[in-house]
Amino acid sequence: MTDATARKRGRPRRTESADTRDLILNAAREEFSERGYEKTSVRAIAKAAGVDSALVHHYFGTKEQVFAAAVEVAFAPALKIRDAVLEGPLDDVGERMTRMIFGLWENPVTRTPLLAIIRSAVNNDTAAAVFRRLISTQLLRRIAGEIDAPDAELRAELAAAQLVGIAMLRYVIKVEPIASADPEEIIARVAPVVQGHLTHSVNP
């Protein structure tokens, strides 16, 4: 089938589909960031993207599915870096993991969608479930798989909790002095704790 035939039948070309999908995703991230999950509607996302609501449903389905796609895109840089972090020796995985997370938060390009996701997850159970599912399947289980310990999943979750908690205080709630502290100072203090969660033996 030619492009001309496809257009006559109302089917978007592949490039047009990709562009429209990206346009909707960008609008969704902005809406979730400004309004949160509960106050964001498919209609509002469509309006911000300059498309019909039917197109949002066509590409993504429900609002929950749009949010899930936005979360996945926002965490794509972390998932790409993840394997590089885990390739090195476990003796310093805590520092590599800490630097990875802070690198994402310190970069304005990746920080904005992360803020949208965190704010939505904190205020809405559905958004929290989507966020939790992605983190568990794409990040924590992968990290736990590299740890040779019977409580590997707990270790990975404790390490993540350490980093998420600090990120909340620094970037979301903006508590001083942690909000304005030098990132290198925070990494130097936090990385050994993350390392301890991941690999250090636990005394009975």
The CATH number covering residue 52 comes to 1.10.10.60
Taking residue 155's Cβ as centre, other Cβ atoms within 10 Å add up to 21
Asked whether residue 121 is assigned to any structural domain, the reply reads yes
Distant-in-sequence, close-in-space partners of 6: CB < 8 Å, separation ≥ 6: 12, 13
- Under the banding of pLDDT at 50, 70 and 90, the label for residue 6 is very low
What pLDDT sits at residue 17?
73
Asked whether residue 40 is assigned to any structural domain, the reply reads yes
What pLDDT sits at residue 16?
54
- Under the banding of pLDDT at 50, 70 and 90, the label for residue 3 is very low
Identify the domain boundary among 12, 40, 62.
62
Domain count, the chain: 2
Q: What is the pLDDT of residues 35-93, one digit of tens each?
A: 888 889 999 999 999 999 999 999 999 998 998 888 777 777 666 666 667 777 788 88
pTM of the model: 0.72
Full residue range of the structural domain in which residue 53 is found? 3-62
CA 151, CA 86: separation in Å to the nearest integer? 18
Asked whether residue 69 is assigned to any structural domain, the reply reads no
Q: Yes or no: say if 142 and 82 are a contact pair by the CB < 8 Å rule.
A: yes
108 and 147 housed in the same domain:
yes
**Roughly how many angstroms between the first and final C-alpha of the chain, as a whole number?**
69
- Indicate if the pLDDT at residue 11 is higher than 70: no
Taking residue 96's Cβ as centre, other Cβ atoms within 10 Å add up to 20
Q: What is the pLDDT of residues 141-177, one digit of tens each?
A: 888 888 888 899 999 999 989 998 999 999 989 999 9
What pLDDT sits at residue 149?
86
114 and 155 housed in the same domain:
yes
- Under the banding of pLDDT at 50, 70 and 90, the label for residue 7 is very low
What pLDDT sits at residue 93?
87
Displacement of CA 147 from its chain's centroid (Å) = 23
Q: What is the pLDDT of residues 84-135, one digit of tens each?
A: 677 777 888 899 889 988 988 898 877 877 787 787 788 788 888 887 887 7
What pLDDT sits at residue 176?
97
What pLDDT sits at residue 158?
93
